[in-house]
Chains A and B, each alone.
Chain A
Amino acid sequence: MSSTRFSGTDRYVATDDLMMAVNAAVTLGRPLLVKGEPGTGKTQLAEEVALALSRPFLQWHIKSTTKAQQGLYEYDAVSRLRDSQLGDERVHDIANYIVKGKLWEAFTTDVQPVLLIDEIDKADIEFPNDLLHELDRMEFFVYETRQVVKARHRPIIIITSNNEKELPDAFLRRCFFHYIRFPDKETMERIVNVHYPNLKKRLLSEALEAFFEIRDVPGLKKRPSTSELLDWIKLLVAEDIPPEALRGDQHKLIPPLYGALLKNEQDVHLFEKLLFMSKRKRD
């Protein structure tokens, strides 16, 4: 039992509630639906779970044009047509033209795999409904070859969503759900530590200070996220910016290399304006 418990990895900091959700989903063999602000590590979670439990990792990335059927299998009728024109022998067996989808792959691996269904909300509204039965019973029917594909091991399925569409209730009922909150300062410190273990303590605390200050600016169009913080710190280290540069004139200067944190000109402008105002107030 203990080997199937997930408790974060040395690259990924998981909070208690996240661990609980993952473990419950793994134990009961239900899909886990993960939502949260962009850049809080939703996609990475699945990879890390696979790594921690040493399971094969399969990723099914969803786009607006993805159909549920593509996850199961596709019948490549066009190649069959071409083959028939060329008089290829393969044309007589329809099974030659059945292309396996990610779900099929996940159903037939030797050990229980981790399957990531990434950004499910990008797809058509009917998409989750079309997968209900497959996720529930972990089997499906291939019409062309009259064959039932059944999971050898119920895969650990992790589904991410960015909340662009509401998911159907019937689908939600079958999942565990977890909302990844934006990490607080303490968790954030742990996260940065995991990524940059040799970071100077002062630089880290100054950087976090500046980061949370920016996040708190009301009215930002896009608030910086964890992954942006990590990028920024990487730049700070690469440029060898001293911690003093972040702190000293916090109220006068926009932080160095701010481009990693603020991603559009209105936000930069807003931030500059606020700094200007706070400076004037102090003078």
Chain B
Amino acid sequence: MMTEFFLRLRKAGVPVTLTEFLTLLEALSQRVTAHSIEEFYYLARAALVKDERHYDRFDQVFGSHFKGLETLFDEIIGAKVPLEWLHKLAELTLSEEDKQLIESLGGWEKLMETFAQRMAEQEGRHQGGSKWIGTAGTSPFGAYGYNPEGIRIGQDVSRHRRAVKVWDRREFRNFDDTVELGTRNIKIALRRLRRFAREGAAQELDLDDTIQSTARNAGYLELKMVPERHNAVKVLLFLDVGGSMDDHIQECEELFSAARSEFKHLEYFYFHNMVYEGVWKDNRRRFNEKTDTMTVLNTFGQDYKLILVGDATMSPYEITYPGGSVEHFNAEAGHIWLSRLLRAYPNAIWLNPVWPNRWSHIPSVQIVRDMMGERMYPLTLEGLEQGIRALQRAR
């Protein structure tokens, strides 16, 4: 049972290793958990998952794999709730009428059986689960207030929060890094950028180490050099605005503000759908204050890294034909300008806020992606990370 759980976790993309699995088994054999499946869940999570981004995937596998485990767990640990106990509780809480009703339903054993059945069904449906047993006036379980936790008597303080099991609540969904950027996630993405910004190679004198080494060297001078740590990265950011990009304003803004605070050398320009002969720095004055793309190419050197952000969703003519632009007459086709940019800045990526599974359905995305040499990444944390990695590889 456990080995299969381990394998399923790996299959679901939670990076679990054998060492960690053995740690869990060791903890189990040392009896770290007491008697409840919740504790087992917490233990397994602490031992196997090392990143909050994988919590959600873990929850899903745990939920499906250990469905019905409560009973199993009870048998293993021996903490099965005795039937008399329930009877006793019933004596205390149920009225005569209620008891008769129970009898009419086939007695306690039957009731518990139905209960288990319904629980299983309920989980199968997954959503609205807690409601199902709680509200229905006709349901024997709602009526007597026996929610799933009610069966496990006297174990926990905050019972009312637990009508839905911890892992079924899937509270960590937001941390999964395949989800699009969010207000909190962008901060982490920003740190990715920072790490990449810190690299660079130069030589400077390490004063401390020189003194140390000289002292060790019995007073003979020994020079020590270290690579300099500086923010050497220069970034040229091109953002698509307007039209179909309106749906993605928030992600782009977040990315933009993150990039702004991270890079000392950041130059940004806006374009619409495709880069043509002019780009602009201020959206309000986009029609009268354009910068020639040629000027941009000539001003910023090859050491700039180019990040294009856009959904690349347009009519293919906007890329392939002169005059294809929706806003003005462009003398040269979009693809010519894009390839000029790529020639000038070989270190380039394209971030696309559209979900990757839709890319293959949009011809213009395909064209742009081909031109980028496959360096198009979704605007998610994972995509951003891949993109940054691609930028780091010198081309």
Contact = CB atoms under 8 A, between A and B. Distances in A.
B191 interface: yes
Interface stretch (B22-30, B88-96, B123-131, B263-271): B22-30
A24 B38 contact: no
A81 interface: yes
Contacts of B32: 20, 23-24, 27-28
A122 B212 CA distance: 24
A179 interface: yes
Interface string B38-81: 11001101110111100100000000000000000000000000
A165 interface: yes
A172 B215 CA distance: 38
A163 B46 contact: no
B39 A20 contact: yes
Contact of B42 (A21, A28, A37): A21
Contact of A17 (B42, B212, B219): B42
Interface stretch (B13-21, B113-121, B278-286, B314-322): B13-21
A219 interface: yes
A150 to B, nearest CB: 22
Contacts of A174: 19
Contacts of B49: 177
A154 interface: no
A78 interface: yes
Given A165-B191, A181-B171, A218-B183, A173 B212 contact: no
B216 interface: yes
A177 B191 contact: no
B46 A220 contact: no
Contact of A78 (B50, B55, B161, B211): B211
A241 B175 CA distance: 37
A226 to B, nearest CB: 15
Q: How large is the interface on B (under 10, 10 to 19, 20 to 34, 35 or more residues)?
A: 35 or more
Interface string A168-195: 0100111111110100101000000000
A16 interface: yes
A77 to B, nearest CB: 4
B244 interface: no
A178 B20 CA distance: 14
Nearest to B17: A173
B50 A175 contact: yes
A23 B43 CA distance: 9
A20 B43 contact: yes
B195 interface: yes
B138 interface: no
A247 interface: no
A27 B24 CA distance: 12
Given A20-B39, A27-B27, A78 B215 contact: yes
Contacts of B207: none
A28 B29 CA distance: 11
A78 B212 contact: yes
Contact of A35 (B15, B19, B52, B166): B52
B27 A24 contact: yes
Interface string A28-40: 1010110101000
Contacts of B47: 24, 176
B33 interface: yes
A102 interface: no
A218 B47 CA distance: 34
B42 A16 contact: yes
B258 to A, nearest CB: 11
A28 B26 contact: yes
A132 B15 CA distance: 19
A21 B215 CA distance: 46
A234 interface: no
A33 B211 contact: no
Contacts of A81: 214-215, 219
B158 interface: yes
A17 B166 CA distance: 10
Contacts of A178: 46
A78 B43 CA distance: 48
Contacts of B212: 77-78
Nearest to B194: A164
A177 B30 contact: no
A-B pairs, top 3 by smallest CB distance, nearest first, are A20-B42, A172-B50, A179-B52
Interface of B: 15, 17, 19-20, 23, 26-27, 30, 32-33, 38-39, 42-43, 45-47, 49-52, 55, 156, 158, 161, 166, 171-172, 175, 183-184, 188, 191, 194-195, 211-212, 214-216, 219
11 contacts: A20-B42, A27-B30, A28-B26, A28-B27, A30-B23, A77-B212, A81-B219, A164-B194, A165-B191, A179-B55, A184-B161
